[in-house]
């Protein structure tokens, strides 16, 4: 491994596991995202048992502060309003509802660090290592880990707890991450590293 995982300084990041992306029939459905919920929950249980930090990110579109993502993905705008401020699709899916001590970061783009308090929240908890899960691997996960690298965080991306729409894109993105950004590991490998 490139890095040694240190539970005292590690946090779990759950990217955009929202009703508007995960629920069956959702306007911007990422169906493979439902398959990774059990592995995300396995990690959450271990983090909770160790009193380690868990962060959730949510993409939130606002008509009051429109941006280019709304132009690129019209489903975020009315009448569909997928993941629009105040719409039920913004919420994290029921199977992954954040616990009392978990922190939810609302973002208005792909990158969870851009114009949010994410970096401040991580540093205030003395977090130096991030384990990523969620959707979509090639868009919001990749954008956030790119920014995390430039903020000097050590990174793991969980191969079987991240998902996108296309298996070949998942494979290519994980290869890119492993070569240039951090480490790619399975849920079992992460859990084993936490215990060792």
Q: pLDDT tens-digit profile of 46-63?
A: 999 999 999 999 999 887
pLDDT for 84: 80
Strands (E), the chain: 10-15, 53-59, 103-107, 129-135, 154-163, 183-185
At residue 195, the pLDDT reads: 87
Mean pLDDT of 75-91: 81
Residue whose C-alpha is closest to residue 175's, from 138, 149, 143: 138
Strand partners, 57: 15, 105
Q: Sorting pLDDT into bands at 50, 70 and 90, what band is 70?
A: low
What ranges do the domains of the chain cover?
7-59+93-195
The yes-or-no verdict on residue 1 having pLDDT over 60 is: no
Size of the chain, expressed as the number of residues it contains: 196
Determine the average pLDDT of the residues in 13-33: 95
* In the predicted structure, residue 65 carries a pLDDT above the cut 80: no
pLDDT number for residue 63? 78
Tell me what the mean pLDDT of segment 121-146 comes to: 98
Average pLDDT of span 41-48: 97
Phi and psi based region of residue 24 (left: phi greater than 0; alpha: psi -120 to 50; beta: remaining): beta
- In the structure, what pLDDT confidence band is assigned to residue 93 with cuts at 50, 70 and 90? very high
CATH class of 7-59+93-195: alpha beta
CB neighbour burial string for 52-73, b if at least 16 within 10 angstroms, e if fewer: bbbbbbbbbbeeeeeeeebeeb
Three-class SS of residue 130? strand
Whether pLDDT at 67 is above 80: no
**Number of CB atoms found within 10 A of residue 110's CB:** 20
In this predicted structure, the answer to whether residue 85 has a pLDDT above a threshold of 90 is no
For the beta sheet containing 53-59, the strands, ordered from the edge strand earlier in sequence to the opposite edge, are 103-107, 53-59, 10-15, 129-135, 154-163, 183-185
Cis ω on the peptide bond leading into residue 81 (within 30° of 0)? no
Q: Is the pLDDT of residue 78 over 90?
A: no
Tokens of 123: 């540093």
Q: Which residue has the higher pLDDT, 179 or 1?
A: 179
pLDDT at 129 over 70: yes
Q: Give the C-alpha separation, 128 to 74, whole Å.
A: 36
* pTM, to two decimals: 0.94
């Amino acid at each position: 491994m490139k890095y040694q995982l240190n539970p005292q300084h590690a946090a779990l990041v759950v990217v955009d596991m929202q009703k508007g992306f995960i629920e069956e029939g959702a306007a911007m459905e990422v169906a493979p995202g439902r398959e990774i919920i059990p592995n995300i929950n396995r990690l959450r249980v271990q983090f909770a048992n160790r009193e380690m930090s868990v962060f959730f990110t949510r993409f939130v579109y606002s008509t009051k502060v429109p941006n280019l993502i709304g132009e690129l993905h019209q489903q975020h705008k009315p009448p569909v309003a997928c993941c629009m401020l105040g719409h039920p699709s913004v919420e994290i899916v029921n199977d992954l509802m954040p616990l009392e001590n978990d922190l939810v970061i609302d973002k208005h783009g792909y990158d969870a660090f851009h114009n949010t308090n994410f970096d401040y929240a991580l540093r205030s908890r003395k977090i130096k290592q991030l384990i990523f899960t969620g959707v979509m691997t090639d868009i919001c996960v990749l954008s956030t880990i790119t920014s995390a690298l430039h903020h000097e965080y050590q990174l793991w991306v969980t191969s079987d707890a991240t998902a996108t729409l296309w298996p070949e894109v998942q494979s290519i993105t994980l290869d890119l991450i492993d070569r240039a950004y951090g480490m790619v590991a399975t849920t079992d490998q992460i859990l084993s590293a936490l215990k060792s």
